[in-house]
């Protein structure tokens, strides 16, 4: 049950009100933006809310239990703070959106309505449609460990313990050539073998993708250059000379952990679990039924 301040409750009970909607967006890179459907800037809750003309928010459907509530914002990409390019670069994916009602004549009196998270963003003809998901959607995120043969740790985290900032596992490079939508060429990495950076990441340090982190599918040394293939199209936002840092990759196999990183003791998977083919087997005379371990 929502509790309103006495002042805000009194204002709602008046014959006429001076209410405005405000939205505070906190992106995953900690950039904070404030917007309002009022025609002037409003400053409260430590945020400046600037007019966002042409924005409209739908009704919120509340559901019982742990189901995810959803709503959407439809608007025109007219604010200098929100660019079409940032939307295309997924800078708003997963951002937190806090919704407020405020007395625009006296912004001391406001009420926090809800907190949502940005889901899917659809853009067409300079119009964007933003899906807002309630906090319950985080209950759908898997928690805890999963029994699987692959490692469940993230390369470089505390469980893995590999120091990705070591010179053995990273290198600063720049784009020499754009091969296609998904691939670029850099100077030949003669000190690193083919596939060393496959399944790794690229952190852009200049250009339009500055600050973005892209997943690497493969790294191949080809003639006098190295080809980097990415998991998503990047060519529209990359120019020759753009700089980025390559970080080593891992395919999460036990053999890779041992041979490539000498880190088998920190492997967070279960490499000796029998696979699905073992479950489908049936007894044969040639099999051993001694009770000894199947795997060593």
Residue 215 lies in a domain: yes
- Residues of the chain scoring pLDDT < 50: 1, 59-60, 62-68, 76-77
- The pLDDT value recorded for residue 248 is 95
- The pLDDT value recorded for residue 4 is 72
Is-above-0.75 flag for pTM? no
User: Is the domain of 11 the same as that of 133?
Assistant: yes
Query: In Å, what is the CA distance from 145 to each residue of 107, 153, 253, 256, 281?
Result: 47, 9, 16, 20, 27
- Distance CA(252)–CA(269), nearest Å, equals 8
**Which helix H or strand E contains 6, and what residues bound it?**
helix 6-13
Backbone angles phi, psi at 136, to 5 degrees: -60, -20
Contact predicate 23/98, CB 8 Å: yes
CATH code where residue 32 lies: 2.40.10
Residue 108 lies in a domain: yes
Backbone angles phi, psi at 61, to 5 degrees: -90, 115
C-alpha 169: how far from its chain's center? 23
- The pLDDT value recorded for residue 76 is 47
- The pLDDT value recorded for residue 70 is 55
**Residue numbers of the domain that contains 200:** 170-247
User: Is the domain of 28 the same as that of 109?
Assistant: yes
* Total tally of structural domains belonging to the chain: 2
Residue 108, class by beta-carbon neighbours within 10 Å (0-12 exposed, 13-18 middle, 19+ buried)? Answer: exposed
Of 205, 221, 247, the residue that ends a domain is 247
Residue 281 lies in a domain: no
Residue 285 lies in a domain: no
Backbone angles phi, psi at 101, to 5 degrees: -110, 135
Residue in the structure block whose two tokens are 């200049």: 206
- Ramachandran bin of 156, using left for φ above 0, alpha for ψ from -120 to 50, beta for the remaining angles: left
- Distance CA(210)–CA(216), nearest Å, equals 16
User: Is the domain of 125 the same as that of 175?
Assistant: no
**Which helix H or strand E contains 11, and what residues bound it?**
helix 6-13
Backbone angles phi, psi at 264, to 5 degrees: -60, -30
- The pLDDT value recorded for residue 28 is 83
- The pLDDT value recorded for residue 1 is 47
- Distance CA(51)–CA(166), nearest Å, equals 46
Of 139, 162, 180, the residue that ends a domain is 139
User: Is the domain of 12 the same as that of 135?
Assistant: yes
Structure tokens at 245: 């840092």
User: Is the domain of 121 the same as that of 182?
Assistant: no
- Distance CA(35)–CA(53), nearest Å, equals 9
User: Is the domain of 193 the same as that of 77?
Assistant: no
For the chain, the first-to-last Cα distance in angstroms comes to 58
**DSSP tag of 273:** S
Share of the chain above pLDDT 90, in %: 34
């Amino acid at each position: 049950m929502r509790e309103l301040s006495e002042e805000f409750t009194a204002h709602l009970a008046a014959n006429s009100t001076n209410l405005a909607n405000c939205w505070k967006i906190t992106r995953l890179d900690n950039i904070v933006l404030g917007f309002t459907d009022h025609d002037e800037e409003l400053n409260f809750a430590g945020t400046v809310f600037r007019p966002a003309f042409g924005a409209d928010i739908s009704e919120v459907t509340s559901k019982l239990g742990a189901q995810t509530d959803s709503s959407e914002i439809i608007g025109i990409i007219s604010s200098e703070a929100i660019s079409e390019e940032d939307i295309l670069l997924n800078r708003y994916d997963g951002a937190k959106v806090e919704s407020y009602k405020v007395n625009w004549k006296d912004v001391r009196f406001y009420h926090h309505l809800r907190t949502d998270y940005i889901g899917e963003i659809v853009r067409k003809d300079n119009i964007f449609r933003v899906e807002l998901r309630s906090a319950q959607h985080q209950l759908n995120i898997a928690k805890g460990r999963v029994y699987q043969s692959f490692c469940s740790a993230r390369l470089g985290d505390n469980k893995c313990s590999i120091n990705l900032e070591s010179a053995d596992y990273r290198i600063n490079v720049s784009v020499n050539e754009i091969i296609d939508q998904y691939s670029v060429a850099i100077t030949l990495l003669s000190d690193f073998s083919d596939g060393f950076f496959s399944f790794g990441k690229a952190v852009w340090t200049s250009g339009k993708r500055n600050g973005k982190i892209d997943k690497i599918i493969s790294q191949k040394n080809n003639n006098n250059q190295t080809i980097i293939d990415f998991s998503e199209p990047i060519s529209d936002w990359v120019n020759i000379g753009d700089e980025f840092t390559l970080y080593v990759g891992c395919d999460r196999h036990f053999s890779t952990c041992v041979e490539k990183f000498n880190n088998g003791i920190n492997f967070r998977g279960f490499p000796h679990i029998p696979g699905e083919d073992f479950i489908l087997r049936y007894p044969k005379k040639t099999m051993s039924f001694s009770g000894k371990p199947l795997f060593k």
